[in-house]
């Protein structure tokens, strides 16, 4: 009865979410009752309750992260002419079309964070101009995935990096957000993608581990997990 009631409550949560999650699909992912002996109903009930609890955690994450504000900031560090000269010094000639020669990302202040503390995903991007195609629209996409089911995308956000110039150069882009209080602890995969003229040309992963708290020695403290 408790399991059925929890599923009904979760159904209502997902119906009001802007992301369409399939509860049956999640149930199949988390429910390990099939591993129990056919006649062990107690084992099956325990596994189904564990699955329901994990689905509840996904529901909480969906609700909180879809409401989370993601801020963006972009800055040009070097002009197109500079990166073009640096490229020609190594390769003699420029490419026919713009290409990304560098895409490096990192999480600030680090990959272990507490709820309520700001996280910054910072990217260093270098795009070399082309001789035949001049336009080089640079965009970056960030996607945050669930800590229980890493195939479930909770949130994504795409932002132009050089919307005004649409030219090559060296750029620094940042996505900033605060993981909200109440978000279940665990490792949240974060993937960023670099797009050049609408095509994905590179990607990077920065998994964020959300912990209950970090003590004065800088050591993370996790809640007990069953």
Question: By CB neighbour count within 10 A (0-12 exposed, 13-18 middle, 19+ buried), where does 18 fall?
Answer: exposed
* Neighbour tally for 171: CB within 10 Å: 21
Residue pLDDT, tens place only, 63-87: 666 678 899 999 999 999 999 999 9
Answer yes or no: do 12 and 93 share one domain.
Answer: no
Lowest model confidence (mean pLDDT) among 16-30, 55-69, 152-166, 175-189:
16-30
What is the domain-level CATH number for residue 122?
Answer: 2.60.40.10
Same domain, 164 and 60: no
What's the domain count of the chain?
2
Same domain? 62 vs 87: no
- Within-domain flag for 39: yes
Q: Does residue 226 lie in a domain region? A: no
Q: With the C-alpha atoms ordered 189, 31, 212, 9, is the resulting torsion angle positive or negative?
A: positive
Q: Which residues pair with residue 153 across a beta bridge?
A: 145
Q: Which residue's structure tokens are 């993937």?
A: 191
Domain that holds residue 76: 71-221
Select the more confidently predicted residue: 22 or 187. 187
19 pLDDT tier (thresholds 50, 70, 90): very low
Question: Does residue 29 register a pLDDT over 70?
Answer: no
Tell me the pLDDT of the chain averaged across its residues.
80
Please compute the mean of the pLDDT values over residues 20-37 and round it to a whole number.
Answer: 62
pLDDT tens-digit readout, 33-53:
777 888 888 887 877 776 666
Percent of the chain with pLDDT over 70: 72
Using the structure block, give the residue that is written with the tokens 């336009």.
135
CB-neighbour burial class of residue 43 (10 A; exposed 0-12, middle 13-18, buried 19+): middle
Q: How far is the C-alpha of 42 from the C-alpha of 93, rounded, in Å?
A: 71
Taking CA atoms, 164 is separated from 135, 156, 161, 197, in Å, by 11, 23, 9, 14
């Amino acid at each position: 009865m408790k399991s059925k009631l929890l599923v009904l409550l979760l159904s209502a949560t997902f119906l009001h979410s802007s992301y369409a999650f399939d509860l049956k699909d999640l149930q199949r992912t988390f429910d390990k009752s099939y591993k129990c002996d056919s006649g062990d109903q107690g084992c099956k009930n325990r596994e189904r309750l564990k699955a329901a609890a994990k689905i509840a955690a996904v529901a909480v994450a969906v609700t909180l992260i879809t409401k989370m504000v993601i801020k963006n900031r972009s800055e040009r560090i070097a002009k197109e002419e500079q990166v073009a000269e640096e490229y020609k010094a190594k390769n003699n000639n420029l490419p026919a079309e713009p290409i990304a020669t560098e895409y490096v990302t990192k999480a600030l202040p680090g990959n272990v964070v507490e709820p309520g503390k700001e996280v910054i995903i910072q990217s260093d991007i270098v795009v070399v101009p082309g001789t035949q195609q001049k336009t080089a629209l640079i965009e970056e996409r960030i996607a945050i995935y669930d800590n229980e089911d890493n195939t479930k995308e909770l949130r994504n956000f795409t932002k132009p990096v050089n919307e005004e110039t649409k030219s090559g150069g060296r750029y620094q882009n940042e996505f900033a957000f605060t993981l909200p209080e109440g978000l279940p602890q665990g490792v949240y995969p974060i993937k960023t993608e670099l797009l050049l003229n609408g095509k994905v040309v590179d990607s990077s992963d920065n998994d964020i581990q959300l912990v209950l708290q970090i003590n004065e020695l800088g050591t993370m403290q996790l809640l007990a997990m069953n």
